[in-house]
Amino acid sequence: MKWQGKSYHKCSWLPEEKLTSLAPHRLRHFNRNYTPESAEEDDRDGFKNGVKAEWLEVDRIIARREVRGGGSSQYLVKWRDLQYNECTWEDEKALAEELRAEAELALFRKVNDQAFYRPPPGAEKREFQVYETQPAFIHGGQLHNYQLEGMNWLRHSWQKGTNVILADEMGLGKTIQTISFFCALHADWSRGPFLLVVPLSTLRNWPREFQLWAPHLNVILYYGSQASRAMIRKYEFFMDESMRPAKDKDKDAPKEKKGRGKASAELSLPKFNVLMTSYELVLQDNSILGVRQ
């Protein structure tokens, strides 16, 4: 039995008699669709008792809340291969000890530190310089000479404010050149936020490449159902106020402009370096993702 609002770790076996009284419609639906053959097919596809192994792995931690009267915290967890609308709140102790999510907890604290998004020192006065060799901030492998040249060309065009098209043939590594370009912007001039729009067919491939070549960037994949995208906007777009030191909360918050209220202050604290999405979702959520001056 998968419980609403609970992770797949909290699934439990129940007697049929109890299920008949608790969820008769779901039980009938399950009995109509379950066959020994379907169970064998699930096993071949990596499912065990209807649960995929990836659904038990912590993908990201996206929010924190204090437990009233308990002196402890809970964290909102996004699970691997599940959409954001299936996030669940988990106790801090369980995350650290049972789920071994120390790396995800550390990443959550890092990306909710405003210093993580401050421009590099001297960014405003830094002039363009060609990288003759691959810089240390590009991980994951070795760039070919033409890829390094493409990255330098993109950097130079960006600094001059020139719109360009990287028109290499297929298979020559435009994805890697683009990610290297973001790495260079992050290191030299700006921490973002940047919007990356890619074809829907390749959308799920980009996070893996970013993880390989630019693991130091906070990259958000904006996709999924309407409910999932609402969760992303709520928890991944702007700084988690609960993670900011009390002395900084009022100091960094801008004065609210007349007629805009709280939203004006929230929009000043983005907490991602790169937001990836598809052309379709840019059109669908244009009021949110549209370019603002």
Q: Give the pLDDT band of residue 115 (cuts 50, 70, 90).
A: confident
Average pLDDT across the chain, whole number: 83
pLDDT at residue 38 above 50?
yes
Residue 96 DSSP one-character state: I
Select 123-289's CATH number: 3.40.50.10810, 1.20.120.530, 3.40.50.1100, 2.40.128.30.
3.40.50.10810
Model pTM?
Answer: 0.80
What pLDDT does residue 96 have? Answer: 81
Say which range, 25-34, 143-152, 176-185, 218-227, has the weakest mean pLDDT. Answer: 25-34
pLDDT at residue 293 above 50?
no
Of 226, 227, 223, the residue nearest 201 (C-alpha): 223
Return the percentage of the chain with pLDDT > 90, whole number: 43
Residue 195: φ, ψ to 5°: -105, 125
Delimiting residues of CATH 3.40.50.10810 domain(s) in the chain: 123-289
Quick: pLDDT tens for 171-207. Answer: 888 999 999 999 999 999 888 889 999 999 999 899 9
Q: Give the pLDDT band of residue 266 (cuts 50, 70, 90).
A: very low
Query: 220 or 247: whose pLDDT is higher?
Result: 220
253: left (phi over 0), alpha (psi -120 to 50) or beta: beta
Section 72-83 average pLDDT: 92
